[in-house]
Each structure stands twice: as C-alpha cells, then as structure tokens.
Amino acid sequence: PPPTCIAACTFVDPIPFLLFKANVAVRFCYQPARSPLDQLVRYFVAEEIGVSYSLHRHFSWPHNVLDPRLLAGVPTAVVLSELDAFVPSEAVRRHLAHRAPHAAVHMLAGHAHSQFCVSKEGLRAVVDAILETDARVR
C-alpha cells in the first residue's frame, strides 16, 4: 500500500534512485567539474565542509538509496537534466520506467545539473511538473 503521510512527490535532478551504482557516488564526490555550473555545484554543495564530512564519514550509501517501488500509488514527478554530470539521467529514466511506471518523467533538454535554477524554461518545466503532480492528488 502507498504511504499514507505522503500526498505526492516531485524530484528534481535526483541522486538517490541509483546510489547503488558506484559511479553515481564517484561522479558527485570525486569527478572533476566539466563546466562552470558543475564547478559551482561542486564548490557550494559537494565540497561544503558539512556536506563533505557527512558524505565521506557518516553517510550510509546503501541506506540512502530510494527504491522507486516504494512510491507506488503516490503521484510522482521526476525532472531530469539531459546533460547532468552527477546524475546519469538516461539510466534514471530507464530505471524509473521499469520500477515506477506510474511516475511522470520529464527530461530538460540541454540542461546540466541544477541549471533549471538559472533557466526560465527549466524553471517553468519544474513548476509545471509540481503543478501536474499536485493536480493528480486532488
């Protein structure tokens, strides 16, 4: 049965769906940035002292994987960025198609990780995904 305390879920550039794959953690924690935006994400998120300490010392990777089957019965939207350097977007899309076919998956063409924050069309797509998911609750 679906969780009773969650009305709907929207995930944007989600890392937890494929944390069981080693390359996902390596991409976020160790891979050099491929663009200025990736460098900003790395500096302000991955290398921030509290986040870095938590990820490297106290983060139980297997316990933070999100099995999409747990979202069955919960209206769910997932927004992926096509050129994401941290999240293997196409692999996540395929994984969700197999494990959570009820999820509405949106791909932001030409966008990098978190680029929706500085892109009108990206932000609009995220807001639309949230509104569509909210409408499925009502």
pLDDT tens figures, 72-127: 889 999 999 999 888 899 999 999 999 999 999 999 999 998 899 899 999 999 99
The Cα-based distances of 4 to 87, 94, 101, 132 in angstroms read 29, 27, 20, 20
Write down the pTM of the prediction: 0.82
Q: Do β-strands 104-108 and 9-12 pair in parallel, antiparallel, or remain unpaired?
A: unpaired
